[in-house]
Amino acid sequence: MTKYGLAAGVEANDLQNELLLYDSGRDSVHVLNATGRLILLSYLDGRTTEEIEELLMETCRLKSGRDLKKDIGRFLEDLEAKKLIKPAR
């Protein structure tokens, strides 16, 4: 999976149960819910998709068998499409 970082001009403010992403270039705000917050902060901290999947299963009490890797990938692709994150180099 592609490694990501915050895009230029995007600031992340942790609000405990949510994560506020402010894009100064577009003067727009995006608020991630607790699950989105957990995924993005974990990923930015260097956790792998597999580690995030395990963390989600424990934290959200999800049953095994759900394709969380695909959900995590789609979530990150959506943030990239909105130009909030970019592939790390």
For 51-65, write each residue's pLDDT tens digit. 999 999 888 877 766
CA distances from 5 to 8, 11, 58, 66 (A): 9, 11, 25, 26
**Structural domain range at position 17:** 4-84
1-28 tens-digit pLDDT? 678 899 999 999 999 999 999 999 999 9
The number of domains in the chain is 1
Percent of the chain with pLDDT over 90: 71
Q: Please check whether residue 89 lies inside any domain of the structure.
A: no
Mean pLDDT of the chain: 91
Structure pTM? 0.88
Q: Please check whether residue 52 lies inside any domain of the structure.
A: yes
Please state, in angstroms and rounded to a whole number, the distance separating the CA atoms of residues 88 and 5. 5
